Amino acid sequence: MSNVTLHTLTERKAAGEKFAVLTAYDATFSHLVSKAGVEMILVGDSLGMVLQGHDSTLPVSLDDMAYHTGAVARGNQGAMIMSDLPFMSYATVGQAMESSAKLMQAGAHIIKIEGGRWLCESVALLSERGVPVCVHLGLTPQAVNKLGGYKVQGRTRESALEMIEDARKLEEAGASMLLLECVPTVLAQEITMNAGIPVIGIGAGPHTDAQVLVLQDMLGITPGRRPKFVKDFMAQSDSIDAAVRLYAEEVRNGSFPSKEHGFE
Residue 45's nearest CA partner among 79, 105, 2, 88 is 88
46 annotated as belonging to a binding site for a ligand: yes
55 annotated as belonging to a binding site for a ligand: no
45 annotated as belonging to a binding site for a ligand: yes
172 annotated as belonging to a binding site for a ligand: no
259 annotated as belonging to a binding site for a ligand: no
Which sequence positions are flagged as catalytic?
Answer: 181
Go through the chain and tell me how many residues it has. Answer: 264
- Binding-site residues for Mg(2+) sit at 45, 84, 114
- Binding-site residues sit at 45-46, 84, 112, 114
- Binding-site residues for 3-methyl-2-oxobutanoate sit at 45-46, 84, 112
